[in-house]
Amino acid sequence: MALVVQKARQIRDASDAFIRDWPTLEVRPPMPAFAWPELERQLLDLAPKELGPIVRDLVSAVRKEALPKPPEMVLREILVIAATVLDEDFRLSLAQTPGEGSPMP
């Protein structure tokens, strides 16, 4: 239970810090709606095939913690996922990291 409370506080503190840095805009034109499975599908299509499991894990993590966060904070986390999986240096660093399985091609 203590871990759940600690995690909730971390999310709240991160959300508060985000709102301090980027207050909600007064004018917010609507954005097209999309679903989490659609987001995951598109990120999987953009990412190299071997990063599929990482994409799934990252989208799942963002989705699970999205509700208490400001929408713009969730958007930023999604953009970070996209930038990360498209980053050639990230892919190369994973290939050089010893660990599970064989190195990436």
Which residues, in sequence order, are CB contacts of 96 under 8 Å at separation 6+?
A: 103
Cβ contact 57:44 at 8 Å: no
Confidence band of 99 (pLDDT split at 50, 70, 90): low
The per-residue pLDDT for 98 is: 66
The per-residue pLDDT for 42 is: 98
Which residues, in sequence order, are CB contacts of 14 under 8 Å at separation 6+?
A: 69, 73
Confidence band of 63 (pLDDT split at 50, 70, 90): very high
The per-residue pLDDT for 104 is: 45
Give the span between the Cα atoms of 41 and 55, in whole angstroms.
9
Q: Provide the whole-model pTM.
A: 0.80
Mean pLDDT on 35-43: 98
